[in-house]
Amino acid sequence: MAQALEGVRVVEFAAGMAGPWIGRLMAYCGAEVVKVESKNRPDVTRQYVPPWAPEMGIQSQLSPWLTDWNAGKRCVALDLTQPAAVELAKHVIATADVVVENYSVGVMDKLGLGYAELQHVKPDLIMLSSSGYGDSGPCRNFVTWGPNIEALSGLSTFSGFPTRQCTATQYAYPDAVSALHGLFAVLCALDYRTRTGRGQYINLSQYEATVGIAGHVLMDYLGNGREPRRLGNGSHHAAPHGCYRCLGEDRWCAIAVASEAEWERFCAVLGEPAWTTDARFATGRARLAHVEELDRLVQAWTSQRDAYEVMAVLQAAGIAAGVVQNIEDQLRSDRQLAAREFFENVEHHRKGSVLANGIPLGLTRTPGRTGRAGAAMGEDNDYVFGELLGMTQPEMQHYIDLGAIESEEFFTTDLTDSTD
Does any domain span residue 219?
A: no
Same domain, 152 and 301: no
Cite the DSSP H helix spans in 197-321: 206-212, 215-224, 260-269, 284-289, 291-302, 307-316
User: What domain range is 288 assigned to?
Assistant: 241-335
Which tens digit of pLDDT belongs to each residue from 75-130?
999 999 999 999 999 999 999 999 999 999 999 999 999 999 999 999 999 999 99
- Same-domain pairing of 35 and 162: yes
Query: Exposed, middle or buried: residue 198 (CB in 10 Å: 0-12, 13-18, 19+)?
Result: exposed
Among candidate residues 37, 85, 41, 35, the one with its CA nearest the CA of residue 402: 85
Averaged pLDDT, 293-320: 98
**Considering the domain boundaries, does residue 222 fall inside one?**
no
Same domain, 169 and 295: no
Residues 164 and 21 in one domain: yes
Same domain, 272 and 357: no
| Confidence (pTM) | 0.89
Question: Which CATH number fits the domain that encloses residue 314?
Answer: 3.30.1540.10
As annotated, the active-site residues are 175
Domain boundary among 289, 315, 335: 335
Whether residues 331 and 352 share a domain: the answer is no
Domain end call among 335, 366, 384:
335
Q: Are residues 52 and 160 in the same domain?
A: yes
Residues 326, 348 share a domain: no
CA distance 174 to 178: 6
35-47 confidence digits (pLDDT tens): 999 988 889 888 7
Q: Find the range with the poorest average confidence among 118-127, 210-219, 233-242, 252-261.
A: 210-219
Residues 371 and 395 both lie in one domain: yes
* CATH number of residue 114's parent domain: 3.40.50.10540
What is the number of structural domains in the chain?
2
Q: Are residues 330 and 357 in the same domain?
A: no
Q: What is the CA radius of gyration of the chain?
A: 25
